[in-house]
Amino acid sequence: MGQLVDSINVWGDVGSSGRYLVPEGTNLPDLISFSFGFTPLGREASIDWAKTQVEVKVSRFDDNRRIVEVAYFRYRYHDPEPVELWEFELQNNDIVTLQVRRRPSLTDYIGVIAPVLTVLTTSLILWERLRE
């Protein structure tokens, strides 16, 4: 006696993106678990999860074979998952996209500014030496 299955696409910041065959009636948290959960941003070792937001978008084809967004959930990582996330009914061929976002930290800003300052300083030193 077999169980009916849906084929669902999972993309984004998950441990293993891909097309999954899941039991019919699978909810979004279970699907996220099947894809090995959320991945840290860029596989960073030290993330401040308190400032992290999770976004889950579900899209599917309409009658004209165009992809339309049918559900969107956003919550902070440390907050409980929204009840609607558990209650949302997935359908065959749905596309579930997950994105993990966080606010930039001081380290992020330094990581952008420091190389620019290094290039400017090096250029000025070279310019001064070439003028002599």
31 pLDDT tier (thresholds 50, 70, 90): very high
Residue 10: the pLDDT is 95
Residue 20, helix vs strand vs coil: strand
Instruction: Answer whether 0.85 is exceeded by the pTM.
Output: no
Provide the residue range defining the domain that includes 78.
Answer: 5-104
pLDDT value at residue 1: 43
pLDDT of residue 72: 94
Per-residue pLDDT band for 109 (boundaries 50, 70, 90) equals confident
Could you tell me which residues come within 8 angstroms of residue 127 by beta carbon, excluding any fewer than 6 positions away? Answer: none
**HEC-encoded secondary structure of 76-121:** ECCCCCCHHHHHCCCCCCCEEEEEEEECCCHHHHHHHHHHHHHHHH
* Count of domains observed in the chain: 1
pLDDT of residue 3: 55
pLDDT digits (tens, 9 = 90+) for 43-93: 555 566 667 889 999 999 888 888 888 899 999 888 888 999 999 989 889
In a domain, 115, yes or no: no
CATH number of the domain bearing residue 14: 3.10.560.10
Mean pLDDT, all residues of the chain = 85
Q: CB atoms < 10 A from the CB of 9, how many?
A: 15
From CA 47, how far away is CA 22, in angstroms rounded?
31
Specify if 126 maps to a domain: no
Helix (H, G, I), strand (E, B) or coil at 122: helix
